[in-house]
Amino acid sequence: MEIMENWHDWKKTLGKAVDLGETVGMSEKTINDLSEKVGTYLSNHVQPHNDEEKLLKDMWDAADEEDRKVLAKIVVKIVDK
């Protein structure tokens, strides 16, 4: 995935997805739940391409279910600026 190679482009792409979700009326809970599902998918199927993604994957892999919900919510906040 080319978009995954640059942290800033990745954040911008996720930010656009969050904005779209908000525009179509998704609740904050729904967006956070989807963020958690995306995080799980990426952790299981996509190799990190930079230091930021490696750190995020390490945190995700070390986290329990509740921690992952918090991480997903934080990622949404980071990209939704």
Contacts 24+ apart (CB under 8 A), 63-69: 68/36, 68/39, 68/40, 69/32, 69/36
Instruction: Return the SS3 of 51.
Output: helix
45-79 per-position pLDDT tens digit: 989 888 988 999 999 999 999 999 999 999 999 99
Residues 6+ apart with CB under 8 A from 52: 7
Residue 1, H or E segment: none
4-47 per-position pLDDT tens digit: 667 788 888 889 999 999 999 999 999 999 999 999 998 999 89
Q: pLDDT-based confidence at 3, cuts 50/70/90?
A: low
Domain covering 2-79 assigned CATH 1.10.760 in the classification: yes
